[in-house]
Structure 1
Amino acid sequence: MDWDDLRAFLAVAQLGSLRRAAEALGVTQPTIARRLRGLEADLGLPLFERERDGHRLTAAGAVLLPEARAVETAALRVERRSHGLVGGLAETLRVGAGEWAAALLARGLAGIAEGPGIELLVTGAPAPGAGRAPEILVRHGIPETGEGLTRRVGALDCALYGAPRFAEGRALPLGPAELASLPWLGFVEEQEHYVTMRWLRERMRERPPAARLMRSDLMAAAAAGGVGVAVLPCFLGDALPGLLRLSAPIEALRADYWAVAHPDLARNPSVRAAVDWILDCFRSADGPQAAAG
């Protein structure tokens, strides 16, 4: 039995679709589908029911899910012990975060100059190989379990940004009706599930986006070029030339960020130092903060 097949099974079981599982593992949807077929062939059992809105566990899949999670826990423990992270200081820690949080942390890398080394990953981004899993994850919302090291680190304000011409002759911030009349920028179809996309579709009256882009830096460049307006984190949008904040911070997109580490690492001094650094990075962002990518 292939460990990568089990990882695909666990990702689809947790996220409910091939697309989201592929994003989380940094592979393609066909790869996830192939791994599921391989695992089902090895076991001689169907693990998922394929439905229009995603994948649901069969009865057999639900029975095997706890066993697969136990295998995952054991594998991760071996991996972490092999890196010498459980007992002493780590030379390098991997931190995984969504795109916005990762950009904020990148700005603050100088603040951990005397602490452990940091490798910063954008979770869900394509990677050249399976690689080493992050020791710390920075994620939206309260984690499902309280095991290990779990700490609220802050949040990120976001707002709508666009070229200054969209504000000509208008008072800022623009009202809902004015914002709804502007061309807007969205993520690509594989990212339709993002909360920002749902918010934009509702506010823009189901009009199609002027353009679709995969990353916020591309969206910011298109917005500065006058293509349309984009939801961006305020720490990024306020600092970019050619962009103007057109809306107030978006209350509906506010959500806390949490730093999460495995129970084996909860007392590791390097992990705790890194989490303190993450907290400092979020404190450096202005205002109450908010959520989406």
Structure 2
Amino acid sequence: MNWDDARVFLSVARAGSLRGAAETLDLGLATVARRIERLEAALGVPLFLRHQSGYRLSDEGAALVPRAEALETAAHAFGAGASARSQVAGQVRLATAETLASNLILPALPRLLGRHPQLSLAISTDIASVDLNRHEADLALRMQAPVHGNVTRQRLARVGYGLYGSPDLVAASDRGAEVPLIGWDASHANLLVARWITARLAGRPPVLATTTLSAQAQAARIGLGLAVLPDFLGRGTGLTRAREQTGMTQDMWLVIHRDLATVPRVRAVAGFLRDLIAEHRALLNG
């Protein structure tokens, strides 16, 4: 028995008329009549006795009511299960840089959680040690795209970098004076920005070496030296940008474990990140 015809059969049986069923199902009167005729033809038995007062179930029709109701129950359960699976609920694990989390993602997070109150986020900012292929995170917002692995990747923006510091140090640098520079410790010497600073220092030691951009921004803010910072961080923290150009840009990538790309809660977070980066693209580009 086709469920679409079975629900029409049940509606006529309950309403006692074609018109009542048509109103309940929001179908045309002719459509309801045609469905009943089709079902009777397929089963080879009359389901209703037609009277001027309405439609009454035949013995054969009455015997089929429990089966049609079983189909109705199964259809409702199927729909409820699909609805539950499509709900944005549960925890999503996001790996990203601490500066992106603190300066871009967290301020906008109430918007996402307001739309999806059953969603929760676990944000890891120790991004270097997080491997999506080992299911250590569901998705990542990072400055370097993975070359291998069971992941999808999408470039969202190009991030610009500048030389930032307090107004007096930037003014001195713009006049050509040698000013102290803030750099990275040896464990981060392979970073693009670390290599630029090392070349710019030309053998001089940095006034301060750190392991995080946030520490460098704070050190620049209190006047210890100039730091190479992404423009969204430098401008977002009230620092002054030097005229000297670093010539550095990095692509920002959204990386998602391929097996989770269609999961509703992961899709919701990925969509939120895409929209958020699009809103701030001008600031990110520098």
- TM-score normalised over the length of structure 2: 0.59
Question: Which one has more relative contact order, counting CA pairs under 8 Å at least 6 apart?
Answer: 1
Matched, 1:182 2:179: yes
Please give the per-residue CA displacement for 1:9-63, whole angstroms capped at 9, x wherever unaligned. Answer: xxxxxxxxxxxxxxxxxxxxxxxxxxxxxxxxxxxxxxxxxxxxxxxxxxxxxxx
Higher alpha-carbon Rg: 2
* Partner residue of 1:203 out of 177, 200, 203: 200
Please give the per-residue CA displacement for 1:197-233, whole angstroms capped at 9, x wherever unaligned. Answer: 0011112223210111222222112111211101122
* Partner residue of 1:137 out of 137, 140, 143: 140
CA distance in 2, matches of 1:264, 1:286: 28
Opposite residue 108 of structure 1, the aligned amino acid is A
Deviation at 1:249, TM superposition (A): 6.2
Opposite residue 269 of structure 1, the aligned amino acid is P
CA distance in 2, matches of 1:208, 1:87: 55
CA distance in 1, matches of 2:209, 2:146: 30
- TM-score normalised over the length of structure 1: 0.58
CA distance 1:221–1:148, shift in 2 (3 Å): closer
Opposite residue 265 of structure 2, the aligned amino acid is S
CA distance in 1, matches of 2:152, 2:227: 34
**In structure 1, what is the equivalent of residue 51 of structure 2?**
none
Opposite residue 136 of structure 1, the aligned amino acid is L
Matched, 1:218 2:221: no
Deviation at 1:87, TM superposition (A): 8.3
* Partner residue of 2:267 out of 269, 272, 277: 272
Deviation at 1:147, TM superposition (A): 4.4
Contact kept? 1:143, 1:258, Cα under 8 Å: no
Which secondary structure does the structure 1 equivalent of 2:236 belong to?
Answer: coil
**In structure 2, what is the equivalent of residue 262 of structure 1?**
257
Which protein is richer in strand relative to its size? 2
CA distance in 1, matches of 2:188, 2:147: 22
Question: How many residues align structurally?
Answer: 195
CA distance in 1, matches of 2:87, 2:260: 10
**In structure 2, what is the equivalent of residue 109 of structure 1?**
109
Contact kept? 1:163, 1:224, Cα under 8 Å: yes
Opposite residue 152 of structure 1, the aligned amino acid is R
Opposite residue 274 of structure 1, the aligned amino acid is V
Contact kept? 2:231, 2:285, Cα under 8 Å: no
Opposite residue 92 of structure 1, the aligned amino acid is Q
Matched, 1:235 2:206: no
**In structure 2, what is the equivalent of residue 285 of structure 1?**
280
CA distance in 1, matches of 2:199, 2:251: 22
CA distance in 2, matches of 1:191, 1:225: 23
Which protein is richer in helix relative to its size? 2
Matched, 1:122 2:118: no
The alignment yields a C-alpha RMSD, in angstroms, of 3.1
Please give the per-residue CA displacement for 1:78-118, whole angstroms capped at 9, x wherever unaligned. Answer: xxxxxxxx986441211001233333222321231213322
CA distance in 2, matches of 1:248, 1:281: 29
Which secondary structure does the structure 2 equivalent of 1:203 belong to?
Answer: helix
Q: Which moved more, 1:148-157 or 1:195-204?
A: 148-157
Report the identity percentage: 25
Contact kept? 1:256, 1:290, Cα under 8 Å: no
Q: Which moved more, 1:91-100 or 1:138-147?
A: 138-147
CA distance 1:220–1:117, shift in 2 (3 Å): same
Unaligned runs of 5+ in 1: 1-85
Opposite residue 140 of structure 1, the aligned amino acid is M
Unaligned runs of 5+ in 2: 1-84
